[in-house]
A and B are shown apart, each in its own frame.
Chain A
Amino acid sequence: MSAAGQHPAVDADELRRRVRDLLDAHPPATTAPLDFLRARFDAGLAWVHYPAGLGGLDAPRSLQAVVDAELAAAGAPDNDPRRIGIGLGMAAPTILGFGTDEQRRRLLRPLWTGEEVWCQLFSEPGAGSDLAALATRAVRDGDDWVVDGQKVWTSSAHIARWAILIARTDPDQPKHRGISYFICDMTDPGVEVRPLRQITGEAEFNEVFLTGVRIPDSRRLGEIGEGWRVAQTTLMNERVAIGGGRVPREGGMIGLVADTWRERPELRTHDLHQRLLRLWMESEAARLAGERLRQQLAVGQPGPEGSAMKLAFARLNQHISALEVELLGEEGLGYDDWTLRRPELVDFTGREAGYRYLRAKGNSIEGGTSEVLLNIIAERVLGLPPEPRTDKDVPWKDLPR
């Protein structure tokens, strides 16, 4: 992937030295945040395991924590990773793995600094869990592809500059084989984004209509017809993306409820006490499992625990937020705000319990449903036999829809 071995000597001390050089040349107090982020990228301190020249130094991934800690201590601005999560977590590793040098150089820097937001045009009204059944067509026309179709539940499409897009380029092939992977410019003619109001009242995701959108062939990632393989990289990274920073005890949703419990003894009941203790204990167990996963990654033993963590947190968030609404009793009957808003990120802690309760319902649907993740664990981790398939060798155009 990268020019491995080019910087064999990049260790923690070397990184600390480079961080000091960066801070000396661009003191955070007097440098505009964006300028600082650009300089950080150029110094190879954005994601240290990326190749030199692309924001990294070919250093071990585990050393990123050293850089982050030093920069945080110096009060350096961050790139708002939650706002650009799709770019960081999914687009970037896919571009790194499958992009041309030119694509990597053009796209990765503004992606990392947050100047350009990314979205993911994968799901369609007729293709969710069965993503490979997608129907959006891309037809070759000279040096371009002409794309027609509809995508749905596209988070951040309203603020995105770019999208990763999968579309069908050969309907005569079985569904997994006729797909290609593109980078779509969201400002191009024919791209229409409509807010899709959701359960919480806001419109965090969108419908995206693609009508005669022309995408130059130079913005294809991977070979024609190999898009499903490329998409696997994206989806794998989507599930691992949670392994980010360390969480302290009570760092997640459980902390909010625990604080309410401590501050408002009049709300306590015996039944809620039992449930709270159980959820506190399970949150701590999930936190420790996440910590163990990070330790495994750091010593180069990536395990399948990534999907485990997503499942565990989805369930916990739902149970904890449900308990919180109940604990609040009369207050739980209220809601903070039903105004149709178009937020730039999911803000669990900035809003009230009712919002958390409703938004957490999406945790077991977005990024692969819990049912589908359980299938993946059963088949890939435990090696249990797959379900019988009726769609495997049938051309996509002949599949029942």
Chain B
Amino acid sequence: MSTPDLLYSEAEDDLRAAVRSLLTDRCPPATVLLEAESGRAHDIALWGALGAEMGTAGLMVPDKLGGQGATAREAAVVMEELGRAVAPVPYLTSAVLAAGTLLGCDTDQEPVARLLGALAEGRTVGALAVPLSTTAGAPGPPTATVRADGDGTLSGQVSGVAGAAGADVLLVPATGADGYGLYAVETAEASVTVEPLTSLDLTRPLAAVTLTGAPARRLAGPDRAAAAIGRALLTGAGLLASEQLGVAEWCLTETVRHTKERHQFGRPVGSFQALKHRMAALWLELVSARATARYAADALATDSPDTPVAVAVAQAHCAEVAVRAAEECVQLHGGIGMTWEHPAHLYLKRAKSDEIALGTPGRHRQALAGLVDLAAPTG
């Protein structure tokens, strides 16, 4: 195993600065809240600026296919910033999961290349139609709940799909006479219903997708579809760790700021040791969370054989750190932390949903058992 690079490069720092400055201007907490209440699936204007104009939608897509030709390392930096802002944009769902799935298909095929190019441009939004709770790294592809019929149409339902509302194209795993395959379906078709669900995370809403004889184009057959989806889920889980890191960072920074300013008993509450130790302990967890998230990003970028371990460790660790940070943030803010106006709840909801997304910590630890030869007891 070569030594992974766990630091941020200068180019990554520049990318971070650009993304952060855009989000500071266009996506302050009050805007996020308004957007979440608007019933829109995502902030269309913000995604236009970030995904299309800044080019993050095609960050991991090679130049020759219309993208920026960067790697998971840069994408991870974007995810950190999006987490820090709980930004309501389809980066994970379209740029990571959908584009990532297409990258695993045969990009020499015109329909694959064209769709990938459209997603990379940021004008078309895609979503991979699997439940967000699907565990990445689990053996085998997610079971297809959709049926491919002989006439080139799909029928069936997929529940809990993130990014489906607001997507122009759905990438749907389905089985039919030709076995497991990946299909593209336009959401504009009358035979496609995307019904938004009331979701715990207001900033990344889920939807139920129903297809009733929806016209579909097959993008990959049994030889590639499962591997492409598996790899995209693994990439998504690895990068989600960076989003969780960003969420946790915002929570700690805001908590420190608040407890330095808030006075009770004649002192800033942040001077009470009981609180200081909790915040110091969180900082400690952030230090190791950052190391695991960077390792996962670097492993994905270099296609390291250790990637499954790196992703499992990062997911199991960062998911819990983000939830703890968000819970501490609410608690140490006191009453104001329980209010709708204060943004703390947006972060708690994102953190808790992220903990379940693409595999819970427990499932990732379970995966680790197999990967590092620590077998469960028999019987």
Interface flags, A172-211, vs B, CB<8A=1, else 0:
0000000000000000000000000000000000000000
Interface residues of B in 266-313 (CB under 8 A from A): 267-268, 270-271, 273, 275-277, 279-281, 283-284, 287-292, 294-295, 309, 312-313
A382 adjacent to chain B (CB < 8 Å): yes
6 closest residue pairs by CB, A with B: A378-B276, A268-B377, A385-B271, A288-B291, A377-B280, A289-B291
Q: Are A385 and B281 in contact (CB-based, < 8 A)?
A: no
Beyond A258-B374, A270-B376, A289-B291, 18 additional contacts (C-beta under 8 Å) are A262-B373, A268-B375, A273-B377, A280-B372, A280-B374, A281-B368, A286-B288, A288-B6, A289-B287, A289-B288, A292-B7, A295-B6, A299-B7, A375-B276, A375-B280, A384-B270, A387-B273, A388-B267
9 pairs across A/B with beta carbons < 8 Å?
A: A258-B374, A268-B375, A268-B377, A268-B378, A273-B376, A281-B365, A374-B277, A375-B277, A378-B277
CA distance A182 to B6 in the complex (A): 41
Question: Which of B287, B312, B372: most chain A CB closer than 10 A?
Answer: B287
Task: Decide yes or no whether A291 CB sits under 8 A from chain B.
Answer: yes
Our pick among B3, B283, B291, B317 for the contact of A381 (Cβ within 8 Å) is B283
Q: Are B317 and A292 in contact (CB under 8 A)?
A: no
Interface: A261 (CB within 8 A): yes
A244 at the interface (CB under 8 A from B): no
| Interface pair B288/A312, CB less than 8 Å apart | yes
- Chain A residues within 8 Å of B, Cβ to Cβ: 258, 261-262, 265, 268-270, 273-274, 276-278, 280-282, 284-286, 288-289, 291-292, 295-296, 299, 305, 308, 311-312, 371, 374-375, 377-379, 381-388
Most buried by B among A262, A273, A292: A292
Whether B292 pairs with A387 at a CB distance below 8 angstroms is: no
What sequence of 0s and 1s flags, for each residue 21-51 of chain B, a beta carbon within 8 Å of any chain A beta carbon? Answer: 0000000000000000000000000000000
> Quick check: B289 and A383 within 8 Å, CB to CB?
no
A371 touches B277 (CB 8 A): yes
CA distance A282 to B3 in the complex (A): 19
Q: Answer whether residue B369 sits at the interface, using C-beta atoms and an 8 A cutoff.
A: yes
In the bound assembly, the distance between CA atoms of A49 and B222 in angstroms comes to: 58
Bits for B300-334, please: 1 = Cβ < 8 Å to A, else 0.
Answer: 00000000010011001100000000000000000
| Residue in chain A with minimal CB distance to B317 | A285
- Give the distance in Å from the alpha carbon of A336 to the alpha carbon of B268 in the complex: 51
Contacts of A377 in B (CB 8 A): 280, 283-284
- Report the Cα distance A308→B290, complex, angstroms: 13
| A289 neighbours in B (Cβ, 8 Å) | 287-288, 290-291
Partner of B284, one of A274, A284, A296, A311: A311
A207 CA to B378 CA, complexed, in Å: 51
Give Cα A86 to B118, complex, Å: 62
Query: Complex: how many Å from CA A43 to CA B288?
Result: 38
**Residues of chain A contacted by B276 (CB below 8 angstroms):** 374-375, 378-379, 382, 384
Cα distance A280–B373 in the bound complex, in angstroms: 11
A285→B291 contact, CB < 8 A: yes
Q: Which of B252, B260, B271, B275 has the most CB of A within 10 A?
A: B271
Docked CA distance A237–B114 (Å): 58
Q: Does B259 contact A (CB under 8 A)?
A: yes
CB distance from A255 to the nearest CB of B (A): 11
Minimal Cβ-Cβ distance residue in A for B1: A249
A284 to B310, CA, bound (A): 9
CA of A240 to CA of B59 in the docked complex: distance in angstroms? 38
CB distance from B370 to the nearest CB of A (A): 11
Q: Which of B267, B279, B284, B312 has the most CB of A within 10 A?
A: B284
Contacts of A270 in B (CB 8 A): 376-377
Whether the pair B288, A273 counts as a contact (CB closer than 8 A) is no
Choose one: A258, A261, A288, A378; the contact of B288 (CB below 8 Å): A288
B125 CB–A CB distance under 8 Å: no
A292 to B293, CA, bound (A): 11
> Which chain A residues lie closer than 8 Å to B284 at the CB level?
308, 311-312, 377
Q: Could you say which of A305, A374, A386, A387 contacts B287, with CB atoms under 8 Å apart?
A: A305
Residues in A with CB closer than 8 Å to B279 are: 378, 382, 384
The answer, yes or no, to whether B5 is at the interface (CB within 8 Å) is yes
Provided the pairs A288-B292, A295-B5, A308-B283 are in contact, do residues A278 and B376 lie with their beta carbons within 8 angstroms?
Answer: no
B374 touches A292 (CB 8 A): no
Q: Is B171 an interface residue (CB 8 A)?
A: no
Cβ A291 vs Cβ B6 within 8 A: yes
Task: For the complex formed, measure the closest distance between the CB of A393 and the CB atoms of chain B, giving whole angstroms.
Answer: 19
What is the CA–CA distance of A274 and B284 in the complex, to the nearest angstrom?
23
Cβ B317 vs Cβ A265 within 8 A: no
> Which residues of chain B are within 8 angstroms of A286 by Cβ–Cβ distance?
288
Contacts of B289 in A (CB 8 A): 285
Q: Which of B90-130 contact A (CB under 8 A)?
A: none
Measured in the bound complex, the distance between the Cα atoms of B376 and A386 in whole Å is 47
- The residue of chain B having its C-beta at the shortest distance from the C-beta of A277 within the complex is B365
Q: Contacting B259 at CB < 8 Å: which of A276, A291, A305, A384?
A: A384
In the complex, are the beta carbons of A383 and B260 less than 8 A apart? yes
As a 0/1 sequence over residues 1 to 14 of chain B, the CB contacts with chain A under 8 angstroms (1 = contact) are: 00111110000000
Q: Is B344 an interface residue (CB 8 A)?
A: no
- Give the distance to chain B from A321, nearest Cβ to Cβ, in Å: 17
Q: Could you say which residues of chain B place their CB within 8 Å of the CB of A295?
A: 5-7
Contacting residues, chain B, for A276 (C-beta < 8 A)? 374
The answer on a CB contact under 8 Å between A277 and B256 is no
Q: A265 and B378 in contact (CB under 8 A), knowing A292-B6, A308-B283?
A: yes
